[in-house]
């Protein structure tokens, strides 16, 4: 995912390079749905995606972090509740093509929150930039690792129980490079523990396996 490429991934790769100097890594970036499809086809050895609800046959999903959904607003926004700011400012939507965008859409419907949508964007960086310059507010996941070049905005939690997006590693259950996949997963967990040891890290992340489909006779 774009937010992982600019967040925790660089630190994890630095740690992997120190342990395995001859390791060659190629990265590709895309929405979670597209990444999962590439893993299923074998184009990618593993993918980092959010909110995986259903995997293909023989796929394994290991979540390692969770990020609460928060409202981001311009720095000069009045000190009001998130729900009030959402109803008074133009709304910048995270695209529904991203799985986190679908999670945000369900959140709005569950809380019966109405918005005045003015634009739809597909990266957290682009949304944050628009909010920083006062063009509206948005609902985004609060990242487990800070972005060094991010523009400052206000982050405001919603009332009631929080809703999270889960971030995890997905790969084939019997992949030939499973050892390297596990090494990457361990480094990602370590990065999350170092940056968000109390509330965001999943210290005992669960692992889900999606059984292989039986062939029809």
> What is the maximal distance between C-alpha atoms in the chain?
65
Judge whether 215 lies within some domain.
no
Q: Give me the pLDDT at residue 150, please.
A: 74
Judge whether 97 lies within some domain.
yes
Whether residues 27 and 95 share a domain: the answer is no
Whether residues 72 and 150 share a domain: the answer is yes
Q: Give me the pLDDT at residue 54, please.
A: 59
CA dist., res. 153 & res. 101, Å (int): 20
Judge whether 122 lies within some domain.
yes
Q: Give me the pLDDT at residue 80, please.
A: 92
Q: What CATH number is given to the structural domain containing 49?
A: 3.40.190.10
Whether residues 121 and 81 share a domain: the answer is yes
Three-state DSSP string of 51-117: CCCCCCCCEEEEEEEEEEEEEEECCCCCCCCHHHHHHHCEEEEECCCCHHHHHHHHHHHHCCCCCEE
Whether residues 72 and 128 share a domain: the answer is yes
| Final residue of a structural domain among 130, 156, 182 | 156
* Residues 78 and 104 sit within 8 Å (Cβ to Cβ): no
* Residues 202 and 144 sit within 8 Å (Cβ to Cβ): no
Range of the domain at 89: 67-156
Judge whether 26 lies within some domain.
yes
Domain count for the chain: 2
Q: Are strands 154-156 and 59-73 parallel, antiparallel or unpaired?
A: antiparallel
Judge whether 46 lies within some domain.
yes
Secondary structure (DSSP) of 127-165:
HHHHHHTTS-BEEEE--SS--TTPPP-EEEPPSSS--EE
Whether residues 92 and 138 share a domain: the answer is yes
Q: Give me the pLDDT at residue 3, please.
A: 72
Torsional sign, CA 81, 87, 91, 97: positive
pLDDT beneath 50: ranges in the chain: 197-201, 203-206, 210-217
| Final residue of a structural domain among 115, 138, 156 | 156
Q: Residue 41, Cα to own-chain centre: how many angstroms?
A: 22
What the block records as the tokens of 35 is 């990444």
* Residues 166 and 98 sit within 8 Å (Cβ to Cβ): no
Whether residues 18 and 32 share a domain: the answer is yes
| Final residue of a structural domain among 117, 134, 156 | 156
What the block records as the tokens of 50 is 């959010």
Q: Give me the pLDDT at residue 213, please.
A: 42
Whether residues 134 and 152 share a domain: the answer is yes
Judge whether 216 lies within some domain.
no
Whether residues 106 and 36 share a domain: the answer is no
- The DSSP call for residue 213 is P
Torsional sign, CA 69, 71, 74, 78: negative
């Amino acid at each position: 995912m774009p937010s992982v490429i600019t967040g925790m991934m660089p630190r994890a790769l630095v740690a992997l390079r120190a342990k395995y100097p001859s390791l060659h890594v190629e990265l590709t970036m895309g929405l979670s749905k597209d990444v999962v499809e590439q893993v299923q086809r074998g184009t990618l050895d593993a993918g980092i995606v959010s909110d995986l609800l259903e995997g293909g046959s023989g796929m394994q999903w290991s979540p390692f972090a969770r990020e609460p959904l928060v409202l981001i607003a311009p720095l000069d926004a009045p000190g009001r509740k998130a729900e009030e700011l959402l109803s008074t400012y133009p709304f910048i939507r995270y695209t529904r093509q991203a799985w986190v965008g679908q999670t945000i859409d369900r959140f709005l419907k569950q809380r019966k929150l109405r918005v005045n949508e003015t634009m739809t964007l597909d990266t957290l960086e682009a949304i944050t930039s628009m909010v920083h310059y006062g063009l509206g507010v948005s609902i985004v996941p609060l990242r487990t690792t800070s972005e060094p070049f991010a523009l400052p905005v206000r982050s405001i939690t919603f009332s009631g129980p929080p809703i999270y997006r889960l971030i995890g590693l997905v790969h084939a259950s019997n992949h030939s490079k499973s050892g390297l996949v596990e090494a990457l997963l361990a480094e990602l967990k370590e990065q999350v523990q170092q940056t968000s040891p109390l509330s965001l890290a999943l210290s005992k992340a669960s692992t889900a396996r999606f059984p292989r489909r039986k062939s029809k006779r």
